[in-house]
Amino acid sequence: MRKVFAALAGILVLLVVAQFFFAASGGFSTRPGEEAYRGHHALGYVIFLWPIVMMIVAAIGRMPGRLIGLTAVIPALTAFQVVVAKVAIGMSDSGSGTASEIVFGLHGIGGLLTGVFAGLILRQARALARPAPALA
């Protein structure tokens, strides 16, 4: 089960990298806003749900509670990302351009934090998946 969790953690890191790709491609797209970020929005749901599956696998595999808790940070950060994006969009609709841009900056920082936590999870998962050294 530890190797399965490590594989799921590796996929999580790839999902976060893909999320940055979709954010960048949406930012430079000539399509209208909602349409340009469609891939970014859809993958956000996956990044929210994937760690929940990982936590179930970790619990079944009796992995350390600290790692399960660390994995729970990802859906929390994803929920934070949604709130930040909605607030920033609401502010831009009301004419607060500069304030909206500052709040949207938090969205990027939240994405970076998500990547950092995904990397930490992967590192710990890989360490747990390694076989114990044989006793001589």
Instruction: Give per-residue pLDDT as tens, 10-47.
Output: 999 999 999 999 999 888 888 877 788 888 989 999 99
Q: Read off the pLDDT of residues 62-117 as tens digits, 9 standing for 90 and up.
A: 999 999 999 999 999 999 999 998 888 888 766 667 878 888 889 999 999 999 99
Q: Read off the pLDDT of residues 22-31 as tens digits, 9 standing for 90 and up.
A: 999 888 888 8
Q: Is the dihedral of CA 99, 105, 111, 117 positive or negative?
A: negative
**The pTM is what?**
0.88
Number of Cα atoms under 13 Å in the Cβ half of residue 134: 1
Q: Which long-range contacts (CB under 8 A, 24 or more apart) does 52-60 make?
A: 53/8, 54/5, 54/8, 54/9, 54/12, 54/121, 57/1, 57/4, 57/5, 57/8, 58/1, 58/5, 60/1
User: What integer pLDDT is reported at residue 96 of this predicted model?
Assistant: 65
